[in-house]
Structure formats: C-alpha cells, structure tokens
Structure 1
Amino acid sequence: MTSELNEQQAHEAAKLLQAIAHPKRLLLLAALSDRQLSAGRLAAAVGLPPGMVYKHLHKLVEIGMLTVSAKSAGMRFSIASPETAFKLMEILAVLPVQISGNVA
C-alpha cells in the first residue's frame, strides 16, 4: 500500500518530528509512556531545572503529544492518546537498537 503525502501532511509531520527531535523531550516522553507525572518529578527524571522542563512540556502539549490534568497536588502531564503512546513506544523500542547498531 502506497501512501502519498500532501504538502499539509508533510508540514504537520515535520512539526511533530521537530518537536520530538530534542533528546530531553524524548526522555520526557519515555518517562510518561505509561503514567502521569508532575513537572517536578519529570525534571528530576531528566536532570533539568523545572523551568526548562516546563518549556519542553509546553512544546509537547502545543503539538498535541501531551495532555495536562489538574490534580489537588498540581498539574500532571501524560501522553495525549493511546495511539500516540503506542506509536511512541514503538519508536523508543527501536532507538536503542538503532543507536547501538550504528556505533563502531
């Protein structure tokens, strides 16, 4: 099955790829693959100050990768949809193999 990509689809795909291309954003997405976490917990998980984590999280929320829910203990971030989580897990599962396979 061949799928043709039109200009608008290419633009949207490029926007998504650009947003997740940052190493810390990939780490944030991996940390959220099966749970909801606060920005503080995510900051500790990826080794960034909370202010920097909020910038990355905002970008991921902006493109629809993450959702935010308000809990009594503060905001919690999670993957936006099961489909997004599944696609993300597929990508993350292949990355270590691809990276280790390319190291000489």
Structure 2
Amino acid sequence: MNVVDMIPAANSAAKLMRSLSHPQRLLVLCALVESEKSVARLRQELGIEQVPMSQQLIRLRSDGLVKARREGTTVHYSIASPEVFTVVEALHSTFCKSPSPGRRSRRSDASD
C-alpha cells in the first residue's frame, strides 16, 4: 500500500470515519446498503426512537453520506455515494459474518 496515494483523500476519509464512528449512524448505513428505506422502516428495523433517528439522519445527510427523496409525507433515504457503500460493506463483512468452518480469523492467527 502506497501511503502517498492517500494524502489527497485523507481529509475526506477521516470525515467519513468520523461520521461512521457513532453506532446508530453506522446501523442506519448498514440498513441502507440493502435498499432505500423510509424513516419509519429504519426506525422499525433498528429500534431507534424518533428524535435520535432524526438527529442521526440529519448528521448523515449534512456529511453527504445519505440522500433523501420525498414521496408525499414520507421521506426515503439511500446511500449517497459508492465510496460509502464500499466502506459499509467492508465493515459488515469484517464484523458481521461468522467465519467459514475451518477458517480462523486473523485475530486468532495473530495470537498463535
């Protein structure tokens, strides 16, 4: 990995990571990887109350990580860029999938 390649993108990457650093925001983005969802559906799936959900969606929108589409009185959210999608998918595959049978995680390899 050539660290020099990261220099022009370091600020953008750090901004993305700051936004992902809150568990509720991360969960919202994980839920949106599957498809666009309404606020009501996000709240139902994630069990987040109205006020905190609104606060997290406002932050995600202001950070440019999600975009909103209004349909009557319903607001639907989706991931705003392929970069966000890629990072959230990488986090999901790292933290949310159980290892295949017979496959050891890096963590157990490092402790050997």
TM-score by shorter chain over 0.5:
yes
CA distance in 2: counterparts of 1:48 and 1:97, whole angstroms: 23
Report Cα offsets for 1:33-92 as digits up to 9, x if no partner: 021111121112221111110110111111111110111351100011344323321221
TM-score normalized by the length of structure 2: 0.73
Structure 2 residues not aligned, in runs of 5+: 99-104, 108-112
CA-atom RMSD, angstroms?
A: 2.4
Please state if 1:15 is matched with 2:21: no
The structure with more radius of gyration: 2
**Pairs within 5 Å for 1:4-83:** 4=4, 5-6=6-7, 9-83=9-83
CA distance in 2: counterparts of 1:10 and 1:82, whole angstroms: 17
CA distance in 2: counterparts of 1:83 and 1:18, whole angstroms: 15
CA distance in 2: counterparts of 1:95 and 1:2, whole angstroms: 25
Q: Which runs of 4+ in 1 moved over 3 A?
A: none
CA distance in 2: counterparts of 1:51 and 1:36, whole angstroms: 20
